[in-house]
Amino acid sequence: MKFLAISGSLRAASHNSALLRAMARLAPADAGISLTLYRGLGDLPLFNPDIEASDPAAVADLREQIKNADAVLIASPEYAHGITGVMKNALDWMVGCEAFVRKPVALLNASPRAVHAQASLTEIVTMMSARIVEAASVTVPILGAHLSEDEIVQHPDISVVLRSALQALRAAVLAARLEPQ
């Protein structure tokens, strides 16, 4: 089962990226889950409907990665009461295709204060007909805790929450496979 993780931050020291990398390390191989972190967010051109038909290579790559994933995890920091510009840009490129239609999605949050970004992500992916998996959408108070990726993986409480989120997302994928298309 292939999960694609997308961080809405380009920062090397991003809490959201560390959260997603930790989840990749916690993904239970015995459950058949492989989690890949998408690394091309900064390569996407600015969304422009005039060039959408030309299918820029970076956009086509993201679209194919989302389509080929069984589920998508998204974690984005909050800037000015919204998601980051690079995350909004990536999602804008996906609106005109069916990459997110019926796709199980987990929305993750590295800061309990980032309520506006979470609300914005929820609105956008719901409009794109994704299926938000509430049991897999978790807020983990990493911001301010000064936890490294290793410490997130080793934290007894956080690691349990993240593993549970991955299992909930896996269960949603399995349930979706049983539904008539």
pLDDT at 129: 97
Say which amino acid occupies 20. Answer: L
- pTM metric for this prediction: 0.95
Query: What's 141's domain CATH number?
Result: 3.40.50.360
Q: Is the pLDDT of residue 93 over 80?
A: yes
Mean model confidence pLDDT for the chain: 94
The tens digit of pLDDT for each residue in 114-150 reads 889 999 999 999 999 999 999 999 999 887 788 899 9
Number of domains in the chain: 1
The tens digit of pLDDT for each residue in 46-66 reads 999 999 999 999 999 999 999
- In whole angstroms, give the CA distance from residue 174 to residue 179: 9
- In whole angstroms, give the CA distance from residue 165 to residue 174: 14
Q: Is the pLDDT of residue 111 over 90?
A: no
C-alpha pair distances (Å), 30 with each of 1, 34, 109: 11, 10, 26
pLDDT at 29: 83
Domain around 55: 2-178
Q: What does the DSSP assignment read for the chain?
A: -EEEEEES---TT-HHHHHHHHHHHHS-GGGT-EEEE---GGGSPPP-HHHHTT--HHHHHHHHHHHH-SEEEEE--EETTEE-HHHHHHHHHHHTSSTTTT-EEEEEBS-TT-HHHHHHHHHHHHHTT-EE-GGG--B---TTTT--HHHHHH-HHHHHHHHHHHHHHHHHHHHHHHS--
Query: Can you tell me which residue has the tokens 């299992």?
Result: 167
